[in-house]
Amino acid sequence: MGTDLQDSREGFAADLRALKLGAGDPTLLALESRTGISKSVLSEAFSGKRLPTEKTVRVLTSELGADSGAWLARRQALLPGNQATEAPVSGDTVELAPPRPRGRLYATIAATAIISIVATSAVWWSILQTRESMWATQRPALTGNQYLEAADGVDPMKTECRHDRVVADIQQRADGAAQVEMLYSNSCMGVWGRVTRVDGAADGNTLSMRIYPANDPESSRSQERTSDDVNSLYTTLLIEPDVDARVCGIATMTVDGEEVDLGPPMCV
């Protein structure tokens, strides 16, 4: 994420769009199902019409694999009153004010400098406090086991794996009606899959996905999940410490009760 010396709401939105593109360019419908944020709110965030809320920035950037703290700090700096403004220029000539006593001038300059330092310090303190607060909500405390240990069959979103997850592969299937992903956490040496239907036909239908070791498709370590009436689901973890081993995923969905194979298998 890059920012200009003079950031703007439009630049913020443009970088959000670039982040979305870098995460595989998921549809607004897919993001809505993953984040719980409505498509209209997401559309406004990407358009730059207005600055998105803290919650939208935090949830959206985390879902797209970015450091939410840095994005929230940048949003804080763009709030009204936190941005420097340039004095308007009105013509080529400037009227000089009558000379003022030098002592009064120095006093005015000193007072202005002090006010500027105090205001700038307040802005940065607010930014640092916001980042610290968000970091505390996204990371576990040093004491107390808030996260489950990564292991086969464990929900990845309840482990540390979620924090460094990357999309290892993502593909559109069934003529764009569904999206299949394989995700990986380097810190956990874990893999999980996710399937999202974007055809808007979740009601009365089923989504299913299974991941398995590539060299043993029928392995007891395989992880499978099936759910009804949902737009998206992800599997439980499959831990693979062998860096040369591959893990594959295969998904299906039903349309009007008829099963649709979302193959071929996706291996990472």
Question: What band does 94 get if pLDDT is binned at 50, 70 and 90?
Answer: very low
φ/ψ of residue 63, rounded to 5: -65, -35
Quick: pLDDT tens for 216-236: 999 999 999 999 999 998 999
Residues 189 and 134 reside in one and the same domain:
no
Looking at the structure, tell me whether residues 162 and 223 fall in a common domain.
Answer: yes
Instruction: Flag whether 233 is in a domain.
Output: yes
The answer to whether residues 129 and 25 belong to one domain is yes
pLDDT digits (tens, 9 = 90+) for 103-142: 555 555 556 655 555 555 555 565 556 555 554 444 444 4
175 occurs within a structural domain:
yes
**pLDDT at residue 256 greater than cutoff 80:** yes
Query: CA-CA distance, 90 to 87, in Å (whole number)?
Result: 10
CA angle 51, 19, 229 (to 5 degrees): 90
Work out the average pLDDT over 181-191.
Answer: 90
Looking up tokens 């055809």 gives: 199
Q: Which residue has the higher pLDDT, 239 or 80?
A: 239
Tens of pLDDT, residue by residue over 138-178, are 444 444 568 899 999 999 999 989 888 988 899 999 999 99
Q: What is the pLDDT of residues 189-209, one digit of tens each?
A: 899 999 989 988 999 999 899
Distance CA(130)–CA(74), nearest Å, equals: 10
Q: What is the share, in percent, of the chain residues with pLDDT greater than 90?
A: 58
- CATH number of the domain encompassing residue 243: 2.60.40
**132, 203: one domain:** no
37 inside domain: yes
41 belongs to a structural domain: yes
The verdict on 160 and 78 lying in the same domain is: no
Residues 125 and 18 in one domain: yes
Residue 95: predicted pLDDT:
43
C-alpha 199/C-alpha 255 separation (Å) is: 9
Tokens of 232: 């998206």
124 & 209 share domain: no
- Is 95 a member of any domain? no
Sign of CA dihedral 59, 64, 65, 71: negative
CB contact set of 227 (below 8 Å; sequence gap of 6+)? 206, 207, 208, 233
Tell me, yes or no, whether 15 and 132 share the same domain: yes
**Residues 5-16: what's their mean pLDDT?**
86
Residues 129 and 31 in one domain: yes
Q: Print the SS3 string covering the chain.
A: CCCCCCCCHHHHHHHHHHHHHHCCCCCHHHHHHHHCCCHHHHHHHHHCCCCCCHHHHHHHHHHCCCCHHHHHHHHHHHCCCCCCCCCCCCCCCCCCCCCCCHHHHHHHHHHHHHHHHHHHHHHHHHHHHHHHHHHHHHCCCCCCCCCECCCCCCCHHHEHHHHHEEEEEEEEECCCCEEEEEEEECCCCEEEEEEEECCCCCCCCEEEEEEEECCCCCCCCCEEEEEECCCEEECCCEECCCCCCCEEEEEEEEECCEEEECCCCEEC
Mean pLDDT of the chain: 82
Same domain, 169 and 204: yes
The pLDDT > 70 percentage for the chain reads: 74
Q: For residue 2, is it within any domain?
A: no
Residue 257: band (very low, low, confident or very high) from pLDDT cuts 50, 70, 90: confident
Whether 92 is in a domain gets the answer no
Residues 205 and 125 in one domain: no
- Whether the model clears a pTM of 0.85, i.e. scores above it, the answer is no
Q: Please state whether beta strands 258-261 and 266-267 pair in parallel, antiparallel, or not at all (unpaired).
A: unpaired
Domain count across the chain = 2
Supply the angle between the helices 9-22 and 54-63 in degrees, to the nearest 10. Answer: 30
Question: Is 143 among the domain residues?
Answer: no
Domain boundary among 105, 138, 171: 138
Reported as a pLDDT band with limits 50, 70 and 90, residue 214 is very high
Note whether 178 and 222 are same-domain residues: yes
pLDDT of res. 26: 95
Q: Which residue range is the domain that position 44 belongs to?
A: 9-84+120-138
Provide mean pLDDT across the span 88-95: 41
Here the CATH number for the domain that contains residue 134 is 1.10.260
